[in-house]
Amino acid sequence: MRIVDAQIHLWGSGLPSNMAHRQLTSFTTEEAVGLMDKAGVDAAVIHPPGWDPNSTEMAFKALRDFPGRFAILGAFPLSSPDKHALVEKWRSQPGMLGLRYGFLQEPMRGWLADGTLDWLWAAAERVGVPIAMLATDSLPHIGRIAERHPGLRLTLDHLGGRGGTTTLKDDAAMEHMPALIKLAQHPNVAVKATGAPGYCSGPYPFTTMHTYLRQIYDAFGPARMFWGTDITKMPCSWRQCVTMFTEELPWLPERDKHLVMGQAVCAWWGWNQMEDRA
């Protein structure tokens, strides 16, 4: 089984602006590869963090130095004057799979509701650029976007929740789940099951999250549910993030583990790892 982490951050300078991340001035490619090897993680999708202005170039270097092990989900300022052209050529960059944005704060949150970003959904749908997002407060708006743009592949981060931007744990962190499950009716919406241990107040195997993982699996299916870690926020080892899914979820069939643990996210975002290793 090839295991692909749907979300990690790498950086070489600055402290993370999100205090849930380990407050270190760097988490390098070499550190990540060493930990991935130890945990049995074959590949990962890098989300360059905003607190390091050089993080995107660092991600591209990771691709060059370790062919087939990394891809990128990046971003550009949505106010950029050449934003349409950037979407058009986005996936022409080596290893760049799509876009990822946070919509938990204003003005970004409001833009989901008022049509400001209609150009983005249309442009990304037209040229086949997937978009991932943190948008817990806006899940009904995501449904309307998905319905209007059936060819646009959307992914909700961190079980549809707030990830490390909330201190809520267990059931309190999952109050959005009914709204998330409603989105399963749209075949162009998927969910990253990333960062699940971080929502749990208890120890490994983080059992309070198992019910919610089962709800996502039952609603979205294994082809639209992607394992991952956001490892620099996790209260456990990378290996435990893996075995939480591969050994501690008895309802997850062996045949579907291959999808959830890597095959599905590569298919959804169009990552041909064999081509990258060539």
What does DSSP assign to residue 153? -
What whole-number distance in Å separates Cα of residue 97 and Cα of residue 87?
12
What pairs with residue 191 in β-bridges? Answer: 156, 225
pLDDT higher than threshold 70 for residue 273: no
On average, the pLDDT of the chain sits at 96
Residues 6+ apart with CB under 8 A from 242: 3, 39, 40, 41, 227, 261
What whole-number distance in Å separates Cα of residue 196 and Cα of residue 5?
13
Would you tell me the crossing angle of helices 29-39 and 238-246 to the nearest 10 degrees? 40
Amino acid at 239: R
Calculate mean pLDDT across residues 132-148. Answer: 97
pLDDT higher than threshold 70 for residue 275: no
pLDDT classification of 142: cutoffs 50, 70, 90: very high
- What is the reported pTM? 0.96
What pairs with residue 101 in β-bridges? Answer: 133
Query: Helix or strand or coil: residue 189?
Result: strand
pLDDT higher than threshold 80 for residue 278: no
pLDDT tens readout for residues 58-68: 999 999 999 99
> What was the pLDDT predicted at 22?
86
What whole-number distance in Å separates Cα of residue 25 and Cα of residue 165?
19
pLDDT tens readout for residues 17-55: 888 888 988 999 999 999 999 999 999 999 999 999 999
pLDDT tens readout for residues 163-220: 988 899 999 999 999 999 999 999 999 999 999 999 999 999 999 999 999 999 999 9
Token pair of 27, please? Answer: 């988490």
Instruction: Report the candidate in 207, 216, 130, 154 with the shortest Cα–Cα distance to residue 180.
Output: 216
> What was the pLDDT predicted at 195?
96
pLDDT classification of 83: cutoffs 50, 70, 90: very high
> What was the pLDDT predicted at 85?
95
CA distance to 93, 135, 196, 200, per residue, from 205 (Å): 38, 27, 10, 9
Calculate mean pLDDT across residues 69-94. Answer: 96
pLDDT tens readout for residues 112-137: 999 999 999 999 999 999 999 999 99
Domains in the chain, CATH or no CATH each: 4-277 (3.20.20.140)
> What was the pLDDT predicted at 277?
57
pLDDT tens readout for residues 237-261: 999 999 999 999 999 999 999 999 9
